[in-house]
Structure 1
Amino acid sequence: MNPSNSSLVPRQPGAAPAAYDAATLAVLAAMEKAADEHLDRIIPDNTKRGYANDWALWEEFHDWLGERTGHRIASTNVTKGTLVGFVVWLDTVKIAAPTSIDRRITGVTVTARGLGVEVPKEATVAARKALKPLKADEDRIARGRGAAKAATPEQLRQMAAAVPDGLTGIRDRALWLMAFFIAGRSAEVAAVRVEGITLHSEGLKVRVPGVKGRPAREVVVMYGKNPDTCPVRAWLTWKAASGITTGAAFRAVDVWGNIADRHLTAEAVREIIVRNAERAGVAVRLTGHSMRAGFITTSRRAGKREEKIREQSGHAQNSPAFWGYIREADKWTDAASEDIGL
């Protein structure tokens, strides 16, 4: 063995660790400090500001928690309980979007570790497990991209006038009118079954399937005054043209007019709505959620009661999203600035 290379030989199991002299320890300490300074320098300023905001919210959460428990625990207590509680607080108190909550989890854990806090892996795993169902909720997702533009009756008429001929056009109109009138999430529209839609003299009864842990609901869809935007006529036309009698209500149609035997995906439902709005030249960007938002605001402006609208949409009584739609619909009704003598 070359004596000059003896320091490269791995230490054998059980052997005592090397003892460093004072000079070596000083060099190592200086390199540790330099590494920390270098890593700090390469973090973008926007990221640093984001982490600072995340930690400020973490502090606010602990203040809020302290007010309710009578004891303010240290912010450096990053545990499974506190981190999951933070997720719930951001969702229910701050009404944060899931993507924003995800970033906050990262910001808090990174900052805590920078302060020398050991964050248990089970804490971050549990926090993201609590976040997972929130990422599948379209009402919550809409928080992150701003409120979805609510579709209006005028825009529906515009879309109806631009529907192309053929089986795909027949399906598309039936789909987005059904989405509007059942105040349906895209995943719910995708999951509707033919057997769940029954015809009555007043219109349709539609069983909206439970998706992603939500309960199913049964809603009624009345005949519309305008044949072009009547959801009942549109559904019956699609059902007759497609020949479907059981299974998925809305399915893919290929360029040769062949109909698939399975449900559309939620993403496909959204794409159909976006594509039809763009084809019609609708001035604002409508998304899958626009139909749900549009029904709630349109129904409210028509004077429908809150509890009847919630029955249709499936919102909980204390849903922040629902009351946001109601406030938007009521904005011009009995406005504070109306008829005040000026």
Structure 2
Amino acid sequence: MFPLYEVRRIWINQDKHMYALWKDLIQKAGLSPDEEVDYTVGVFIGEKLVATGSYQENILKCLVVCKEYQSENFLTKLVVHLLGELQMKGITHTFVYTKPGNKAIFYSLGFREILSTETVLFMEQGTPNLSSYLSMLSKLNHSENASAIVMNANPFTKGHLFLVQQAAKVSSHVYVFVLSENRSEFSFTDRLAMVKAGVSQIANVTVVPTENYIVSSLTFPTYFLKDQAPLELARIQAKVDALLFKEKIAPRLSITKRFVGEEPYSEVTEVYNQAMKEVFNNEIDLIVLPRLAIEGNIVSATKVREALKQKNQALLKQFLPESSYDYLKKKFRGE
């Protein structure tokens, strides 16, 4: 007999009892309760929580059904409910972050695979999608044996410029990917503009947005938590991000090298560098360059942001290329 059930929202950040039930269910499924979520729903039989699902922005995640109820189609009901909530917010391009065994269910709901590993499955529904992004990249392909740099550029410093210059000297072409995610002090629009202005005099460089497919809330959400990020979760996500880059993105641009800077400050960024080294496995050369130091002081965007708060013009002129300094000066004068 089909059990009587109720689907209702769970306020995991406000209701300690519900959070405990949710956390127990999540952990029994081998998932982390540290995942960021905006909205969570549960399937209840009486007061027993037997299934749950969440979304963060446009990403479905933390989808779990108790083993004894996995024949009841509750996963589909959760997904339909979450998609309905997102559609009411005008969101029609959706990602899911789940286990490989759920592929057939999501395929039947219109999702298509982005990447699959032994433990994680990424799929998406709607457009523009990965295929659209890869098609755009293919049109930008300039040469064989190209190099890549991925940066947040929050803001674009002389350290970022140094990395690009060094890569450009030894590469036929360099693709500078700028994080599209708006989770930094400076908007994507501002960061992209500063990067383009900063590299405009280097002929063999093309600046590209990452969209959802490199260091984003989909592929590597803990990147944006920095010091607050659980490192074990960061390692898992970093490997998935690196694998997506190696298998899907690099081939479209004939990328054989990726340049990164040494990371003396952020443990999460260092975890990412280690994950790339492991995943690339000599198929893509990971080239780690020493961080640029000026008068013995390592250049970092963190120091620049602090200097902006303190209105330390001397440090800003020391650490920022003229293009970024002028851009920020005009921006803050405009505000």
Name the TM tier (shorter chain): under 0.3
Instruction: Kindly name which structure, 1 or 2, has the bigger radius of gyration based on alpha carbons.
Output: 1
Hey, which of these two has a bigger chunk of strand by percent?
Answer: 2
Specify which structure has the higher proportion of helix. 1
Q: Tell me: higher relative CO, structure 1 or 2? Use CA pairs within 8 A at least 6 residues apart.
A: 1
Q: What TM-score do you get using the length of structure 1 for normalisation?
A: 0.25
